[in-house]
Amino acid sequence: MTENSAVVRETEQESREYSGSFTLHKNIHSTAYEVVVYFSKTSRETLTDKIRRMIQNEARQ
């Protein structure tokens, strides 16, 4: 199995588990970054809830 075929299979699996996605592209100096964000079909937590929870957990440490 090549690396590309593994990526295709992984992408097919993700498409069944997630709905909607977007990709962020950012160049910093000579390095290019790509971040892919997926939204779970079964999630009950909003983005606001998730960020609030992350901030609260970080504040506790």
The yes-or-no verdict on residue 15 having pLDDT over 60 is no
- ∠ Cα 14 17 57 (to 5°): 95
14-23, 26-35, 51-60: the lowest-pLDDT one: 14-23
Per the rule left: phi > 0, alpha: psi between -120 and 50, beta: everything else, 36 is beta
The yes-or-no verdict on residue 37 having pLDDT over 60 is yes
Question: Can you give the pLDDT at residue 11?
Answer: 55
Indicate the residue type of 59.
A
What is the value of pTM for the model shown? 0.41
Which residue, among 38, 41, 5, has the nearest Cα to 21 in the 3D structure?
Answer: 38
